[in-house]
Amino acid sequence: MDNLAGRIRELVADLPAELVASWASTLQKSGGWGWSKRKSALLNLTPQPDVRQRLAAFFTLWQTDFPDVSVESIALGMETAVATALHFRRHQQLELVWTGPDSQIIPLRRTDQALLQLIQDATSSLHIVSFAVYKVEKIAQAIVDAIERGVSVSIYLETPDASGGKMSLDTVQALGEAVASQARLYVWPKEKRPLTEAGKYGSLHAKIALADGRVLLVSSANLTGYAMTLNMEMGVLVRGGKQPRQVEHHLLALIEQEMFERV
C-alpha cells in the first residue's frame, strides 16, 4: 500500500489541481465500471501525452498489484496528494540553475539570468556572497539599480589582505565605484579565520545571492564573467520556504558577532 501511495504522489505532484480534481470526481462515479472504461474516462480528461503515459502506467499498477483498493480510496489519495503538493509549491519552489553545455534533457535556467532576475526583483534587501569578482558589468549595474530603488545591499567578499594572500584580485575595485561606494561591503577578517597546522587560512568560498529573505540562489559560480557564461557551474534557486530567511538571519548574526566586518 505504501508503494501505491508513493505512486499517487509521483503521478499528481506537478499537475494542475483542476485536472486531478476532474480525475477524482470521475473515479468516484466509476464504482460500477470496468477497468477499461474507467481508464479511458480519465485518459479522455488528460490532453498532455506525457501525463497520459504516466496515468496509464498508474492504472496498470493499480489493476495488477492493488485491485482491491477502492476507487474512493484512490480518488481521496489523489486529492490529498495534490493538496499537499500545492501547499509546498506555494511555500517553496526549487529550480536548477546551470552554466555550461545544454543536454536538451531538462530545462535549466542560466546562472546569469537567474542572478540578474533575483537582483532585479529585490524590493527591500539583497545579500551577495562571492569569492571572486571580475568582469560582471551587467550584474554590477543591476546592483546599482537596486540601490537606487531603495534596496539595502550587502556584499561579502574575499580580498587579498583578508585571504592571507590566496586572492590577488582587488574584488572591491572589480565591483566598480558605483557599487563599492553605495553598498555595504564586508570581509571575513583574517584574524577571525581558522588556521591549519601549516598556518594556512580558511577561505570565504561560499557563493550565495539572497533577495528579501525570500529568494535564495546557492551556486558554484563566482561573480565572474567566465562563471556566468563559459564555465560549467550549477546551483539551486530556492523561492519561499524557511531556508532563505534562515540564511539571512545567519548572515546578519555573523555581522553582529563581528565574524564579518565592513570594508
Mean confidence (pLDDT) of the chain: 90
Average pLDDT over residues 13-41: 93
Q: Is the pLDDT of residue 153 over 90?
A: yes
Which stretches of 34-176 are DSSP H helices? 35-44, 49-65, 71-91, 111-121, 137-148, 171-175
Tell me the C-alpha distance between 181 and 172, whole Å. Answer: 10
Residue pair 216/250 in contact by the 8 Å Cβ criterion: no
**Report field, pTM of the whole predicted structure over 0.85:** no
Dihedral-angle region of residue 240 (phi above 0 means left; psi in -120 to 50 means alpha; beta otherwise):
left
Residue 163 scores a pLDDT above 60: no
- Per-residue model confidence as pLDDT tens digits over 170-226: 787 878 898 989 999 999 998 888 888 888 888 889 999 999 999 999 999 988 888
Say how many Å lie between the first and final Cα of the chain, rounded: 59
What's the CA gap between 192 and 187, in Å, rounded? Answer: 10
Which cell is 133 given?
569578482
Whether the predicted pLDDT of 104 surpasses 70: yes
> Which pLDDT does position 154 carry in this prediction?
97
Task: Find the range with the poorest average confidence among 75-84, 133-142, 155-164, 189-198.
Answer: 155-164
- Using the predicted structure, report yes or no on whether residue 1 has a pLDDT greater than 60: no
User: Which tens digits make up the pLDDT trace of 9-19?
Assistant: 889 988 889 99
Q: What is the mean pLDDT of residues 79-89?
A: 86
Quickly state the pLDDT bin for 168 (edges 50, 70, 90): low
Q: Evaluate whether the domain defined by 100-262 bears CATH number 3.30.870.10.
A: yes
Residue 40 pLDDT > 70: yes
The residue with greater pLDDT, 167 or 90, is: 90
8 A C-beta contact, residue 223 and residue 192: no
* Cα 25 from Cα 43, distance rounded (Å): 14
For the chain, residues classed under CATH 3.30.870.10 are 100-262
